[in-house]
Amino acid sequence: MSQFRCPLCGGVLTETRSGLRCPAGHCFDRAKEGYVNLLPVNRKHSRAPGDDKGMVAARRAFLEKGWYAPLRETLAALAVELTGSAPAVLDAGCGEGYYTGGVREALLNAGKTPEVAGIDISKAALQRAGKRYPGIAFAVASAYRLPAADGSVDLLLNVFSPLAIEEFRRVLKPGGVYLYVVPGARHLWELKEILYERPYPNEEKETPYEGFAYDRIVPVDYTIRLPGQEDIHALFQMTPYYWKTPKEGTERLARLKELDCRISFQVHVFRRESIKNPAARFKAAPAPPVLFSVTKPAAVPAPAAAPRPLPPDTADR
C-alpha cells in the first residue's frame, strides 16, 4: 500500500505494475524516473508549475558541493532525536530530494525503519529526485492539497516551501513533529549587498500556530567562500533574487571572482497537539548556533543570466 492517497477521491492507493490505483479505479502511472503525478490538471495554475529545469539544475549543482550540508545534518539529527522506531516522514516541497534523502539516510543509520515520501509541484525537480533516491516515494502534488491521509505522518519537513498550515495540521499525528526551515536575518547578506543598493534583513520571529506547540528553534549559522562564478551563479539562480534583481545588480555579481557569504537558517520545531491549545509555549534551543566554514577549489566561470519575470508558483527552496 502506498503512503499516498488518491487526489480525486481520497481513497487508498495500492501499487500496480505501472503505478498506483485506488478502489474507485483512478489510476496514476509511474514515470520512468520513479515518481507519480498526483496533481490534477484542474489544480495546475500554469502549464509547468514550480521550479523550471534551469533553477533545479543550479540548485542541485550547488547543494551537491556541500554548501548547505550543515542544514541537512541539523535536520537529520533532529529527525533521529524526535521520531520513533518506524516513522512516516513527508517532505512537503522536497525539490530534488536533497534534505529528504539526508533525513532518510540518518534514520536508517540509526537503526530505524522509516517510510519516507516527498511531494513537490515541480515535475523537473522530481525527475531528479526519483532518479537519485529510489527508496523514497515521490509525487507531483501541491502542499495545499497533500495526497496523504488524516493523522498519518510522524515527521513533516518544510524547507523554504509554502506554509500550508491547515494541511500540515490535518496530516500530522498527535505528537507528530513539524520542522519548518526559514532564512535567518542575515542569510545571504553579502550577496544581497551586491545585488541591491539598500538590502534589508529578513524578519525573525516566533509564530505560534493553532494545533501546534513550540519545542525549540535551532539556529544554523556559518560562512562560505564561493571561489568562482560557477558557484556564485548557481547560488544566485536558486534564490528568488534571480527573478527580481535589477540589471545593474546582476552585472555587479557577474564581475565577482569569489564571494564570502553568510548562511543563516532557523529550524522551527513544533509538536502537533492532541488538544486545542493556542497558548503554545516557546523553548529556546539549548545548543549554540552551528558554526561552519566551507571552501572549494576555483571553478570554471559561467555567465550570469539576465533577470526574468517571477513565475507565480515558484517557491524558494
- Give pLDDT tens digits for 217-267: 999 999 999 999 999 999 999 888 988 899 999 999 999 999 999 999 999
Residue with the larger pLDDT of the pair 294 and 155: 155
Side-chain-facing half-sphere of 281: CA atoms under 13 Å? 1
Q: What is the pLDDT of residue 41?
A: 78
Do 90 and 118 form a contact (C-beta atoms < 8 A)?
yes
Question: Is the pLDDT reported for residue 81 higher than 80?
Answer: yes
Q: Which residue has the higher pLDDT, 180 or 40?
A: 180
pTM for this model (two decimals): 0.85
> For residue 28, what is its C-alpha cell?
496514476
- Greater confidence (276 vs 213) lies with 213
Tens-place pLDDT, residues 129-177: 999 999 999 999 999 999 999 999 999 999 999 999 999 999 999 999 9
Tell me, letter by letter, the H, E, C secondary structure of 62-88: HHHCCCCHHHHHHHHHHHHHHCCCCCE
Q: Which domains does the chain have, with CATH numbers?
A: 1-30 (no CATH), 31-41+49-295 (3.40.50.150)
- State the pLDDT at residue 62: 95
pLDDT, position 315: 38
DSSP string, 145-158: G-SS-TT-EEEEEE
Non-local (6+) Cβ contacts of 230 within 8 A are: 61, 299, 300, 301, 302
What confidence score (pLDDT) does residue 27 get?
A: 95
